[in-house]
Amino acid sequence: MKAFPSTEPIYGDNIVGVKQSTGMDLRDYFASKAMQAMLVNRNEAVYLQEMPKICYQWADAMMEARKK
């Protein structure tokens, strides 16, 4: 699933086509939001190595919650 898919018209004298973007993966978007939350209360020794793993675990949990 994607976050922020879009289509934009491409203009010449009139609309000559459509530019499409599939957006970013929803899982990546959730992980980035989890990372923002973690950075508020960070402990650098733990976070530098563990933060990406933990953020994707949170993102996976959010993806599972969406299925319910």
Q: How far apart are CA 59 and CA 54, in angstroms?
A: 9
Q: Which residues contact 38 (CB under 8 A, 6 or more apart)?
A: 47, 51, 54, 55
- Where does the pLDDT of residue 15 fall: very low under 50, low under 70, confident under 90, or very high at 90 and above? low
Residue 26 identity (one-letter amino acid): L
- Could you read off the pLDDT of 34-57 as tens digits, one per residue? 888 877 766 665 667 788 898 899
Q: Is the pLDDT of residue 7 over 70?
A: yes
Q: How far apart are CA 42 and CA 31, in angstroms?
A: 16
For residue 49, the model assigns a pLDDT of 77
For residue 63, the model assigns a pLDDT of 92
What are the extents of the domains in the chain?
24-68
Mean pLDDT of 11-18: 73
Residues pairing with 18 in the sheet:
9
